[in-house]
Amino acid sequence: MRRLRQAPWVRGLVAENTLTPADLVWAVFVHDGEGRVPVGSLPGIDRLSVEEAAKAAKRAESLGIPAIALFPYIGPEGKDEEGTGAVDPDGLVPRAVRAMKAAAPGVGLITDVALDAYTSHGHDGLLDPDGTIPNDATVERLVQQALAHAKAGADVVAPSDMMDGRIAAIREAFDEEGFTNMMILAYAAKYASGFYGPYRDAIGSAQSLSGDKKTYQQDPANSDEALREVALDLAEGADMVMVKPGLPYLDIVQRVSSTFGVPTLAYQVSGEYAQIMAAAQNGWIDGDRVIMESLMCFKRAGASGIITYFAEKAAETLGA
């Protein structure tokens, strides 16, 4: 077996999987202010102004990164119980989408459809007085949010809320409004995970979150349930599906991709990024090597694409 490992040229020749910038989706945070604002729990990651986000789109284009996934930071003044800012046609995300599309029309823009950045309670949906998340009322708000993003020029909406039936409702609304070519990337297998902490810091929902999200996100103990979730979202009109988190859930990525044979993305989430960066900064691991190895692991598991905060750095490495 070692004969085929003895030199870089032969290792590359017989490699079963390859990683290119075309496999990456760059996760980017935007804020409604000026310049760049560091995210303390995500070393090296900044929230970007609309102007800086447009520059990031140009940067993605130059590196061969095909798409950017956009996530908003909304300050306390922009939050309320109903998450009404999420449906504002002139809100942060629609303005960022328009600016980024003007700067780099060929870069795909994927927008997050969920209310957690906009609600004062930090949940992905509305909140009843008894603390429950009303499914159908939340779906109505999510449909309005998805339409606002489509009208701004987004290429893909990615509902990450895990409400039942929201894919069908969004698809129906798109068809009725003439957005028949809008793509839907369903967060079909999104788990109630502890790996999301730095992300919630980045979008400003960590301090406001009341309770947990276990009544609507999946139980980490379950695998078969993920296949049922994916089957439902595909039947309702999803074009692509997502598994989240990433590395701790590669078994789910493999099962989904092999079972359904549809484009399956994985999200290398904030906690995964923070772990790698913290260990690298302490000198415990070779950070550059582990970044590239971790991304290759997604490909080996069957991911069609990887949403990652490492996209810019990885694309630079791959293009070197």
Residue set of the binding site: 229
**Catalytic residue status for 79:** no
- Beta strand pairing status for 36-38 and 46-48? antiparallel
The Cα 165–Cα 146 span in angstroms is 14
Task: Report residue 27 as tokens.
Answer: 């996760």
The Cα 26–Cα 14 span in angstroms is 28
The Cα 58–Cα 39 span in angstroms is 22
The Cα 164–Cα 218 span in angstroms is 12
**Catalytic residue status for 244:** yes
The Cα 315–Cα 21 span in angstroms is 5
Annotated binding site for Mg(2+): 229
User: Which residue out of 79, 101, 213, 244 is catalytically annotated?
Assistant: 244
Consecutive H or E run containing 28? strand 24-31
- Which residues 6+ apart lie within 8 Å of 8 measured at CB? none
User: Which residue out of 79, 101, 190, 213 is catalytically annotated?
Assistant: 190
Torsion, Cα 119 178 240 85, to 10 degrees, reads: -10
Active site residues: 190, 244
